[in-house]
Amino acid sequence: MKCPYCHHIETKVTDSRDTGVFTIRRRRECLDCGKRFTTYEYVEMQPLYVVKKDGRREKFDRNKIKNGILKAIEKRPVNHSQVEEILDKIEEKIRRNGSEEINSKDIGEYVMDSLKELDHVAYIRFASVYRSFTDVSSFEEEIKNLTK
């Protein structure tokens, strides 16, 4: 690993830890200038495609899921590490399936299941967009289901 400060080729790993299902965080020190820096190693996975409602296929993008979750948890008592944990669990479920394709509907259900456990308000926010609530009765029905 090349030092980002002095570009020396030799560094040593001072600390390693798992930061997710597919990620390892490594703390490194340059053997020349002595500065420390962090690197992340990711498992290279097979490309995964999401099948949309209209039949289109697009490459899986974890950030799209993250953006949806971030909108749902806005101004809620949910921290960044909880979001990352949800994302890791969802991606693990998807990859464990073994298929190169997954329906967007399944991803939406995984997100809703995770948000239901984490924060009911965030769950209702996400569900209102995901299930295209059109009136107040849709909200009322979902809240009744949630409180059962």
Give Cα 68 to chain centroid, integer Å: 10
108's CB contacts (< 8 A; 6+ apart) are 130
Residue 127 lies inside a defined structural domain of this protein: yes
Same domain, 33 and 62: no
Is 2 inside a domain boundary? no
Q: Does 70 share its domain with 34?
A: no
Is 28 inside any structural domain? yes
34 lies in the same domain as 54: no
| 21: in domain | yes
Q: Kindly state whether residues 76 and 21 are assigned to the same domain.
A: no
- Report which DSSP code applies to 12: E
Residues 78 and 96 placed together within one structural domain of the fold: yes
Contacts of residue 12, Cβ cutoff 8 Å, sequence gap at least 6: 28, 29, 31
Domain coverage including residue 34: 11-42
The reply to whether 1 falls in a domain is no
H/E stretch holding 16 reads strand 11-18
Q: Would you write out the chain's pLDDT as a tens digit for each of its 148 residues? A: 899 999 999 999 999 988 766 788 999 999 999 999 999 887 767 889 999 989 999 999 999 999 999 999 999 999 888 998 999 899 889 888 888 999 999 999 999 999 999 988 998 888 888 777 777 777 777 787 777 7
pTM (whole model) above 0.95: no
* Residue 77 sits in the same domain as residue 57: yes
Q: Are residues 94 and 60 in the same domain?
A: yes
In a domain, 62, yes or no: yes
Domain total in the chain:
2
What letter does residue 45 receive in the DSSP assignment? -
Tell whether 95 is covered by a domain. yes
56 and 37 co-located in one domain: no
